[in-house]
Structure 1
Amino acid sequence: MSFKRIVAASACIALTAFPLEQAAAQAVAQAVPLSAEQARSLGVRFSPVATSSGLEVGTHARVVFKPDAQYVMAAPYAGMVSRVLVSVGQTVRAGQPLAGFLSPQLFEASRALTEANSQAHLAQQSLARDKALYDDGIIAASRWQTTQARAAEANAMVKARRAELASAGIAFSGSGGEAQLVASRGGVVSEVNAVPGARVEAAAPLFRIVDPAALELDLLVGRDIPLPATGDRVEVAQRGVGGTVIGVAPSGDGTAGVRVRASLERRGDLRAGESVNVTLKLRGAANANAAGLLRVPMAALVYVRGTPGVFVATDKGFRFQDVAVASTDDAIAVVRANLPAGTRVAVTGVGALKGLLAGEQ
């Protein structure tokens, strides 16, 4: 083959291969003219981007009660519920009666308290009498010390008997001194397992009281998401919810994910048991490589030939700028791109711009 034919063949190969290899790069760098009137007719609207101080990750969370948000009122002794004074959904305050309660052990505890009060009263009388005798020099110091010890023992017994009834959640009220099971804390009654006339065993759960405002978020974060740290922010923007990560632990199901707990400063209208979409703001992941992170509306993100990017406004039209997607949620995408803050990107009419770009190519 002659030298001229070799050169011609090489030129032909270059003309056919170069567009195939460089088409994507040309598309990225290509600017498409678009007047303001044409943009309005196509429904195109541009919005400025902002720098991102942290990596934002969209995930799911379950709304759960705090560990101390629920309290169970149980039967202190084996006995019988004489009457029920509250119902499910009712708000109660601390010390409010929940049910009447009868039990032989309860009566024995009440009798022991009465006896202890009587002994303490007698001990105080002896203490006052012996003090006067000791001051007059009639009795010895040893007898005065013995009387003091007996009075202290009697007072300690009274405190013990009162503590027993208090820990049982029992109060005596009314002219007849009816024994009543009272709420140890305020909240909303979520369960009533007591039935008037029913006999119950000791420690049988009768009432469950919850604090509806004591909520947390429970997140299961997969291995494809950067590991959050204590202090990272958690938000549910659509519900007015904001919180902070308070704990990270390995998942108990043997997977590579982690369980994340977040406390809430603003709980919005969340209710226990529901699942919500949340945004994790990972400060540590952003600080490791924060250069070039931008927040753009999710609607601005577009894929051209599988390459993610945004349409950037120019003086004469627009151009496609490829980006590296760091994280996304329902509303915001955090991307890494060589764009200054304030750069305007298309947020509506993106499909029309993509069609124009394809036509120019």
Structure 2
Amino acid sequence: MKNRVSTKVIIIAAALLQSVACMNNVYAQAQIPLSQQEIEDLGIVFEPVVAVSDSDGERVSASIITAPDVNNTVSAWFDGQILSWEVAPGEAINEGTPVAIVSSESFIEAQQAYVDARIENHQARIALDRDQRLYDAGIIAAVRLEETRRQQQQADIAYRSRRQRLLNAGVSTADLEQLDTGSVTLGEYRVRSPLSGTVARRYVMAGDHISEGSPLLGVANTAEAWLFARVPSYLSSSLSAGQTLTLSESGESLRIQSVDRQVDTLTQSIGVYATFTESTDWLPGQQVSVRLPPAAQGMRVPDSSVVHNGHETTIYVRTENGVEARTLILQPAGRNYLAIQGLTASEQIVTRGTAVLKGIQLGLGGTE
């Protein structure tokens, strides 16, 4: 019985030793004894291993866009014809700035509807005041007073809605007062910008006919500039709101606001939206490139440190007696590689001279 137990223990111990040996072999492939003088003679250069940072991720193309949740277009409230422009592309404007003068038959109808509604509302108020006095004197019933009050409320709603429509179209309160007195030009109105920013482009020319709701002007607000990028779907699991991106051209930082969770079937990519952490001079429509955060945490391996042999990737690590060749599983990380296991920040790797070391391994050269 004791012999059986001892045999079983020996088998388990042997299996554990073999497992440890196999794990060590994943990283330590060969030892290359070299003295310091030989390292210098061969021109081998080492650099300390450092952890990856946000600048080590993949680089993808992107576009500068306006905030997707903010209107950036000045539109026409009435159909008609553009008589003239009040602003030019590149000009800074504020909310309420007149941008164009439009001639419109529909606007005449809206002006007339406003005047009619104002008169009806005034008459309804007079009628309500009259019936209130008659009711207080006991001359009319309460039902008649309530009917008059209901009619006045309807007239007031109609008046306010027609007034607001003109205000939305860019008509000022001063213009409305002049309209009440009949001292304003009928059929012409100034389109006013509903937002502040810089005029990006005109969608129509002076003299063009426009329809109700058609875009007239594009306004860019660089303080609210966003970035949109299409990212390969295999990177989707490593991206989330709050992560930092880096603009390759300028080094500016951006923060991810949202990541699409549906893959585009044609491009096999997802959409990523990000905002600049500080004010920027980039304009909507400009094409840029952006650096994504690394897919995982680990150690940075420069491209010059990696030797490829089929599907295997080998690096050379400094040891007390020379150099150790390690075959690691590396992931692409921008211009470099990412080592999740098998490398620590306390080690040094070869960044120049890998071809010489590979030749020594293959028996093509030596240190003698």
Pair in the same fold by TM > 0.5? yes
Question: Which residue of structure 1 aligns with residue 298 of structure 2?
Answer: 294
Task: Provide, for residues 21-69 of structure 1, a one-character-per-residue CA deviation record: whole Å limited to 9, x for no partner.
Answer: xxx99993213424289559947242133389x9x75141321424345
Residues 163-178 of structure 1 correspond to what in structure 2 (within 5 A)? Answer: 163-171=164-172, 177=184
Question: Which residue of structure 2 aligns with residue 5 of structure 1?
Answer: none
Question: Which residue of structure 2 aligns with residue 205 of structure 1?
Answer: 215
Q: Distance in 1 between matches of 2:288 and 2:259?
A: 19
- Structure 1 window deviating more from structure 2 (238-247 vs 191-200): it is 191-200
- Secondary structure of residue in 2 paired with 1:337: coil
Q: CA deviation at 1:228?
A: 4.8
Residues 27, 328 of structure 2: 8 Å contact kept: no
Residues 228, 248 of structure 1: 8 Å contact kept: no
Residues 263-274 of structure 1 correspond to what in structure 2 (within 5 A)? Answer: 263-266=274-277, 270-271=282-283, 272-274=285-287
Question: Which residue of structure 1 aligns with residue 200 of structure 2?
Answer: 190
Match of 1:344 among 343, 348, 360: 348
Residues 79-228 of structure 1 correspond to what in structure 2 (within 5 A)? Answer: 79-171=80-172, 177=184, 179-212=189-222, 213-221=224-232, 227-228=237-238
Question: Which residue of structure 2 aligns with residue 310 of structure 1?
Answer: 315
Question: Which residue of structure 2 aligns with residue 14 of structure 1?
Answer: none
Q: Does 1:324 align with 2:343?
A: no
Q: Distance in 1 between matches of 2:212 and 2:247?
A: 47
Task: Provide, for residues 308-341 of structure 1, a one-character-per-residue CA deviation record: whole Å limited to 9, x for no partner.
Answer: 23332223433222211122202x4212432334
- Secondary structure of residue in 2 paired with 1:259: strand
Residues 254, 277 of structure 2: 8 Å contact kept: yes
Which structure is higher in strand share?
A: 1
Q: CA deviation at 1:232?
A: 7.8
Residues 98, 183 of structure 1: 8 Å contact kept: yes
Q: Distance in 2 between matches of 1:26 and 1:343?
A: 14
Task: Provide, for residues 102-144 of structure 1, a one-character-per-residue CA deviation record: whole Å limited to 9, x for no partner.
Answer: 2122122112112212222232233334334433434321222
- Secondary structure of residue in 2 paired with 1:248: coil
Q: Distance in 1 between matches of 2:85 and 2:236?
A: 52
Please tell me the residue identity of whatever aligns with 1:333.
Answer: Y
Residues 170, 192 of structure 2: 8 Å contact kept: yes
Measured at CA, do residues 334 and 231 of structure 1 come closer, stay the same or move farther in structure 2, by a change above 3 Å? same
**Normalization by structure 1: what TM-score?**
0.73
- Secondary structure of residue in 1 paired with 2:261: strand
Q: Does 1:240 align with 2:227?
A: no
Q: CA deviation at 1:279?
A: 1.9
Q: Distance in 2 between matches of 1:248 and 1:320?
A: 41
Please tell me the residue identity of whatever aligns with 1:62.
Answer: A
Measured at CA, do residues 94 and 104 of structure 1 come closer, stay the same or move farther in structure 2, by a change above 3 Å? same
Q: CA deviation at 1:94?
A: 1.9
Q: CA deviation at 1:99?
A: 1.0
Residues 243, 264 of structure 1: 8 Å contact kept: yes
- Secondary structure of residue in 2 paired with 1:321: strand
Percent pairwise identity: 19
Q: CA deviation at 1:153?
A: 1.0
Equivalent residue pairs, number: 320
In the alignment, structure 1 segments of 5+ residues that lack a partner are 1-23, 287-292
Q: Distance in 2 between matches of 1:106 and 1:341?
A: 72
Question: Which residue of structure 2 aligns with residue 74 of structure 1?
Answer: 75
Q: CA deviation at 1:242?
A: 3.0
Measured at CA, do residues 251 and 234 of structure 1 come closer, stay the same or move farther in structure 2, by a change above 3 Å? farther
In the alignment, structure 2 segments of 5+ residues that lack a partner are 1-24, 364-368
Q: Distance in 2 between matches of 1:338 and 1:26?
A: 6
**Normalization by structure 2: what TM-score?**
0.72
Q: Does 1:334 align with 2:335?
A: no
Match of 1:260 among 261, 271, 279: 271
Q: Distance in 2 between matches of 1:158 and 1:198?
A: 32
Q: Distance in 2 between matches of 1:325 and 1:302?
A: 9
Residues 272-291 of structure 1 correspond to what in structure 2 (within 5 A)? Answer: 272-282=285-295
Residues 69, 210 of structure 1: 8 Å contact kept: no
Q: Distance in 2 between matches of 1:29 and 1:162?
A: 85
- Secondary structure of residue in 1 paired with 2:72: strand
Residues 233, 281 of structure 1: 8 Å contact kept: no
Q: Distance in 1 between matches of 2:113 and 2:141?
A: 33
Tell me the C-alpha RMSD between the 2 structures. Answer: 3.7
Measured at CA, do residues 353 and 122 of structure 1 come closer, stay the same or move farther in structure 2, by a change above 3 Å? same
Question: Which residue of structure 2 aligns with residue 20 of structure 1?
Answer: none
Measured at CA, do residues 127 and 258 of structure 1 come closer, stay the same or move farther in structure 2, by a change above 3 Å? same
- Secondary structure of residue in 2 paired with 1:313: strand
